[in-house]
């Protein structure tokens, strides 16, 4: 039995008043699509209204931190503020150091964004050595692992409501 995963939820969370932004990279399309579906599915299970799940895209994972900031600011300016953002990206190791630099910078900038924006910015980025690892974490390999997008949806609702 695997020990990894979010574990049992500590209380009930109601996302019915939340507006959640999902910003996903367009690299590694099939895996991304599955992760986005997983996140959406979980948001709906937590009663987030379909019309309050806003999906936008950026080219690659490197664009996720700045894209998230622009996404947040645009929504606020339009009077439809986001209560949490789920940036989703899939980084797969190639043959150069590109992977390490992107993983490191994106992770740090997303963490910083939580404090800069004052809303939860979830870490929805897979940093995988192989494509198979990414597929497994997107729930695309039967019987292997669960879709991690679901964890990200649940984390967004919990973090946007827990301390309010
Ligand atoms: N190799 C991967 C990338 N690379 C693209 C960069 O994220 C970026 O869009 C480009 O350098 C322009 O600034 N992105 C991923 O999301 N996943 C990869 O595996
Ligand atoms: C995530 C990456 O950086 C990547 O797939 C780039 O591949 P490479 O290092 O072969 O250019």
Q: What share of the chain in percent tops pLDDT 70?
A: 98
Cα(67) to centroid of ligand 1, in Å? Answer: 13
- pLDDT, residue 13, reads 95
Q: Domain total for the chain?
A: 1
User: What average pLDDT does range 54-64 have in this prediction?
Assistant: 98
Q: Which domain holds residue 83?
A: 20-162
The ligand 1 atom at the shortest distance from the C-alpha of residue 102 is 7
Domain assignment present for 78 = yes
Cα(93) to centroid of ligand 2, in Å? Answer: 6
**Ligand 1 lined by 25 (C-beta under 6 Å):** yes
- pLDDT, residue 3, reads 61
Q: Which of 87, 91, 111 is nearest to 101 (CA)?
A: 91
Nearest CA to ligand 2 atom 2: 99
The confidence band for 1, taking pLDDT boundaries of 50, 70 and 90, is: very low
- pLDDT, residue 8, reads 80
Domain assignment present for 2 = no
Domain assignment present for 80 = yes
* Interface ipTM: 0.96
The yes-or-no answer on residue 98 being catalytic is yes
Give me the catalytic one of 98, 108, 146, 148. 98
Q: Which residues line ligand 2 (CB under 6 A)?
A: 91-92, 94-96, 98-99, 102
What CATH number is associated with residue 88? 3.40.50.960
Looking at residue 139, the DSSP 8-state letter turns out to be T
User: What average pLDDT does range 21-37 have in this prediction?
Assistant: 98
Give the whole-angstrom CA distance, residue 45 versus residue 160: 15
Work out the mean pLDDT of the chain and round it to a whole number.
96
Residue 30 has pLDDT above 80, yes or no: yes
- pLDDT, residue 2, reads 59
Domain assignment present for 45 = yes
91-145 pLDDT, tens digit each: 999 999 999 999 999 999 999 999 999 999 999 999 999 999 999 999 999 999 9
Cα(110) to centroid of ligand 1, in Å? Answer: 15
Residue 85 has pLDDT above 70, yes or no: yes
Domain assignment present for 72 = yes
Nearest CA to ligand 1 atom 10: 60
User: What average pLDDT does range 57-76 have in this prediction?
Assistant: 98
Domain assignment present for 15 = no
Give the whole-angstrom CA distance, residue 161 versus residue 148: 20
Domain assignment present for 87 = yes
The confidence band for 77, taking pLDDT boundaries of 50, 70 and 90, is: very high
Domain assignment present for 101 = yes
* Alpha-carbon separation of residue 99 from 25, 41, 94, 107 (angstroms): 15, 29, 7, 12
């Amino acid at each position: 039995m695997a020990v990894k995963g979010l574990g049992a939820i500590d209380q009930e969370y109601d996302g019915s008043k939340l507006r959640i932004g999902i910003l996903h990279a367009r690299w590694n399309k099939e895996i991304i699509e599955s992760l986005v579906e997983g996140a959406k599915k979980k948001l709906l299970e937590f009663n987030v209204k379909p019309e309050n799940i806003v999906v936008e895209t950026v080219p690659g994972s490197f664009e996720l931190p700045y894209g998230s900031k622009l996404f947040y600011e645009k929504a606020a300016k339009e009077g439809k503020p986001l209560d949490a953002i789920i940036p989703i990206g899939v980084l797969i190791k190639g043959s150069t150091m590109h992977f390490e630099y992107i993983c490191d910078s994106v992770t740090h900038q997303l963490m910083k964004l939580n404090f800069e924006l004052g809303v939860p910015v979830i870490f929805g980025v897979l940093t995988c050595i192989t494509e198979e690892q990414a597929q497994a974490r997107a729930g695309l390999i039967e019987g292997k692992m669960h879709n991690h997008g679901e964890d990200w949806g649940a984390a967004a609702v919990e973090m946007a409501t827990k301390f309010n």
